[in-house]
Structure formats: C-alpha cells, structure tokens
C-alpha cells in the first residue's frame, strides 16, 4: 500500500484545506447593559447529549466575546439560507451589527434573530484556551420550538456562502 503524501504545515495551506469542511453559519449573541451583541461564528458543533452541551471557538482578539462571558450566557442563532448579509454584518467589528436586524429576547434575555433556522439558549459551562482561540462550552437551557424550523440552511464552503442544491424540506 502506498503512503498518503501530505503537504507541510503552512498557515495559508492550513486555512485552504480547512475550507473544504462545509458547515452552517451561526451568530453567537448576548446582551449586556449596552444592548444586544453578537459575532459570526462557523466553528459551532454539538458536544454532549447528557448533559446537553454545545461548543464554539472564538478568537482571543474578539471584542464581543469578553462581553458575552461577563453575562455568563449566550444564544446560538443558526442562519437560514437567505441570511448571508447578516453573517457578513456580524463579522465586521466596530459597526452597528444590529442595524436592520429584527430580534426577540429569550427567557434568559439573549437575542434571537428573526427568521433564523434554529436557536439554542445556553449558559457558559466551561472555557478552554487553545492557541489563538478559546473553546467555549455551553449548557443548553432552551431551544427553538418545532414550528420555528421552516427554512433551509445557509452553508459556508471554500470561503463562500452556499445553498443546498437539494432544496426539498423534510
């Protein structure tokens, strides 16, 4: 059997290679004394069923996450197919990320973006340093009801927003 031949580590190549992992797109939101806050986040995944845990990674340079941490809680908003402009808007630091965005508060007070695909409301359960990111684990306390789930997902693949070609819903 022939050995698989790889490419040596290089940051640009690493980024491009990881870009082949297709994912959904989320906005991690919270609210502090100054109002709603949030940032675009692709690195979301489910961790545990019992207890129910989810996770995301955030850059140590994020200006939004330290404010979310202060509140001890956050919401995950998984974006729907038509929300790519919201993803772009929440990835820009120092702008009014909430301009033109409709939202509702969860029972815990975190903002849920209208028309999202699904949402989860969480308490911060753990945080781990990992290189230039923090791995944040959340304990899920509330989630979108079944009747909320009426859209197709927004996808991110090779640096671009994508949509399901097979658009049949189930």
Ligand X SMILES: Cc1cc2nc3c(=O)[nH]c(=O)nc-3n(C[C@H](O)[C@H](O)[C@H](O)COP(=O)(O)O)c2cc1C
Residues in contact with ligand X by the rule CB under 6 A = 25, 39-43, 57-59, 62-65, 87, 90-91, 93, 156
Least distance to ligand X, CB of residue 75, Å:
15
Q: In whole angstroms, what is the distance from residue 56 CA to residue 142 CA?
A: 17
Start-end of H helices in the chain: 11-18, 65-71, 84-89
- CA dihedral (36, 83, 166, 146) positive or negative: positive
What SS3 state is found at 131? coil
- Residue carrying structure tokens 């580590």: 9
Q: Shortest approach of ligand X to residue 5 CB, angstroms?
A: 30
CA distance linking residue 110 with residue 117, whole number of Å: 16
When the beta carbons of 90 and 112 are compared against ligand X, the nearer one is 90
Give strand pairing partners of 121. 75, 142
Q: Name the residue nearer to ligand X (CB basis): 5 or 89.
A: 89
Compute the least distance from the CB of residue 64 to ligand X, in Å.
4
* CB nearer ligand X, residue 26 or residue 106: 26
What gap in Å lies between CA 3 and CA 1, rounded to an integer?
7
In terms of CB distance, is 53 or 91 closer to ligand X? Answer: 91
Rounded to a whole number of angstroms, the minimum distance from the CB of residue 61 to ligand X is 7
């Amino acid at each position: 059997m022939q050995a698989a031949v790889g490419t040596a580590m290089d940051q640009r190549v690493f980024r491009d290679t990881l870009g082949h992992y297709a994912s959904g797109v989320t906005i991690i939101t919270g609210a502090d004394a100054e109002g709603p806050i949030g940032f675009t986040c692709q690195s979301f995944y489910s961790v545990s069923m019992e207890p129910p845990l989810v996770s995301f990674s955030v850059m140590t340079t994020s200006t939004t996450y330290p404010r979310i941490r202060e509140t001890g809680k956050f919401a995950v908003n998984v974006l729907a197919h038509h929300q790519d402009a919201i993803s772009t808007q929440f990835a820009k630091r120092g702008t009014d990320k909430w301009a033109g965005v409709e939202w509702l508060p969860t029972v815990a007070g975190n903002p849920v973006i209208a028309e999202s695909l699904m949402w989860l409301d969480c308490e911060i359960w753990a945080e781990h340093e990992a290189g230039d990111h923090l791995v944040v684990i959340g304990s899920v306390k509330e989630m979108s009801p079944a009747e909320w789930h009426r859209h197709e997902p927004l996808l991110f693949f090779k640096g671009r927003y994508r949509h399901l070609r097979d658009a049949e819903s189930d």
